[in-house]
């Protein structure tokens, strides 16, 4: 496991995101490719939030779809029905997702599979609510009439280059926040809680409170990306916004990329999303996700620490040669 004191975050993060930000230019910036990268970055944001919770606090969540959907619906409704500016409703979507996570507080006393099962059940409640509260949410038919992303300082965020730039900036910000928390005493305690909860409580760590903060932060980030996604795609329906794939894909992305690292979930999200859409879909039109499963199994067998761990190992071997 990489030490949190390793000098990774600063330069490596900056370099990685510069490369990512330059990709559209390098690839000719077609709308199709930008669309793929935008979707990959949405997934990257959720994967980062999932890994934050899994790595710091040791909570494996199968319910991030709930936060994603709540963020999307909250922002779309606040902008569409109350007329609030989208730049305000997007963070409010994140805040409402964080608020929704409070309902999970009793489950924080559970650990391992019990927490995972509790949050899986919890996610279903919100999908049902979004379907049944049809006067507010439009029910199964969903929502369509709400504003898209605005133009800010001359940059049209509703355009694909604008949305892409915004998402790159937010994912980078998320990575920096994650790295800062990870290196703090708070992050050390959270990492310790994951495997030695009594050992941390006995030295004064309020483990339940710290886990609650991490859950709320993870829910906030997920809700934020859910809100952005809602305004980028311009429609919402319960079976999409609360789809199980928003719970499962972030896990696959994080584990594939290396969930104990800061950049692993982001890299994993970009690789698996592009693989799924460009390669797998081309090979198997229906049920192409099966190839994602095979890819994940291959990665776990070949490199349990994920893509980043594999790259570090190869880099180390080359340096040592």
Partner 1 sequence: MLALEAVTVRFGGLVALREVSFTVAQGEVLGLVGPNGAGKTTLFNAISGLIRPRGRILFEDRDITRAPLHRRARLGIGRSFQIPQPMKHLTVRENLEVAQVFGAGRRDPARLTEILEVMDLGGQADREADGALALQELKRLEIAKALATEPRLLLLDEVLAGLESGAKRAFAAKLRELHARFALTIVIVEHDIETILGLCSRAVVLDFGQVIADGAPAAVFRDPKVVASYTGAVDA
User: Which spans of this chain sit near partner 1 (rule: CB under 8 A)?
Assistant: 1, 3, 185, 188-189, 191-192, 195-196, 198-207
Q: Closer to partner 1 at the Cβ: 195 or 318?
A: 195
Q: Closer to partner 1 at the Cβ: 82 or 195?
A: 195
Burial 20-32 (b: 16+ CB within 10 A, else e): beebbeeeeeeee
> Which tokens go with 57?
């606090």
Q: Closer to partner 1 at the Cβ: 188 or 310?
A: 188
Point out which residues pair with 155 in neighbouring strands: 152
Q: Please state the closest distance from residue 265 (CB atom) to partner 1, in A.
A: 19
CB 298 within 8 A of CB 250: no
Residue 170 Rama label (left phi>0; alpha psi -120 to 50; beta)? alpha
DSSP-assigned letters across all residues of 170-210: HHHHHHHHHHHHHHSHHHHHHHHHHH-HHHHHTTT--HHHH
Rg (CA), the chain: 19
Q: Please state the closest distance from residue 21 (CB atom) to partner 1, in A.
A: 33
Q: Please state the closest distance from residue 296 (CB atom) to partner 1, in A.
A: 24
Task: Name the residue among 184, 64, 50 with its Cα closest to residue 127.
Answer: 64
Q: Closer to partner 1 at the Cβ: 93 or 187?
A: 187
Q: Please state the closest distance from residue 277 (CB atom) to partner 1, in A.
A: 36
Q: Closer to partner 1 at the Cβ: 106 or 198?
A: 198
Q: Closer to partner 1 at the Cβ: 156 or 197?
A: 197
Q: Please state the closest distance from residue 238 (CB atom) to partner 1, in A.
A: 40
Q: Please state the closest distance from residue 51 (CB atom) to partner 1, in A.
A: 16
Q: Please state the closest distance from residue 71 (CB atom) to partner 1, in A.
A: 31
Cα–Cα dist 131/126, whole Å? 9
- Let me know if 293 is exposed, middle or buried by CB neighbors in 10 A (0-12, 13-18, 19+): exposed
Q: Please state the closest distance from residue 202 (CB atom) to partner 1, in A.
A: 6
Angle between helices 160-183 and 185-195 (to 10 degrees): 80
- The phi, psi pair for 246, rounded to 5°, reads -70, -15
Q: Closer to partner 1 at the Cβ: 200 or 222?
A: 200
DSSP-assigned letters across all residues of 225-252: HHHHHHHHH--B-HHHHT-THHHHHHHH
Q: Closer to partner 1 at the Cβ: 84 or 188?
A: 188
């Amino acid at each position: 496991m990489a030490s949190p004191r390793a000098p990774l975050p600063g330069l490596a993060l900056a370099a990685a995101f510069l490369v990512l930000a330059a990709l559209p230019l390098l690839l000719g910036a077609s709308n199709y490719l930008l669309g793929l990268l935008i979707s990959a970055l949405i997934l990257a944001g959720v994967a980062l939030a999932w890994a934050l919770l899994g790595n710091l606090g040791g909570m494996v969540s199968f319910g991030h779809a709930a936060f994603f959907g709540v963020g999307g619906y909250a922002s779309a409704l606040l902008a569409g029905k109350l007329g609030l500016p989208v730049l305000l409703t997007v963070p409010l979507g994140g805040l409402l997702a964080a608020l929704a996570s409070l309902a999970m507080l009793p489950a924080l006393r559970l650990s391992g599979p019990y927490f995972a099962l509790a949050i899986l059940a919890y996610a279903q409640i919100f999908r049902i609510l979004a379907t049944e509260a049809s006067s507010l949410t439009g029910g199964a038919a969903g929502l369509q009439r709400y504003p898209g992303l605005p133009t800010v300082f001359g940059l049209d965020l509703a355009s694909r280059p604008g949305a892409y730039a915004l998402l790159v900036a937010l994912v980078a910000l998320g990575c920096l926040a994650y790295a800062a928390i990870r290196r703090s005493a708070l992050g050390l305690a959270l990492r310790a809680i994951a495997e030695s909860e009594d050992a941390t409580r006995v030295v004064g760590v309020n483990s339940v409170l710290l886990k609650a903060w991490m859950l709320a932060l993870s829910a906030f980030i997920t809700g934020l990306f859910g809100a952005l996604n809602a305004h980028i795609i311009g429609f919402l329906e319960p079976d999409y916004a609360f789809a199980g794939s928003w719970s499962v894909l972030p896990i696959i992305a994080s584990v594939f990329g290396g969930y104990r690292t800061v950049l692993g979930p982001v890299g994993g999200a970009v690789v698996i999303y592009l693989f799924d859409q460009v390669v797998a879909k081309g090979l198997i039109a229906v049920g192409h996700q099966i190839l994602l499963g095979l890819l994940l199994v291959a990665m776990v067998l070949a490199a349990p620490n994920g893509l980043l761990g594999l790259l570090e190992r190869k880099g180390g071997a080359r340096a040592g040669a």
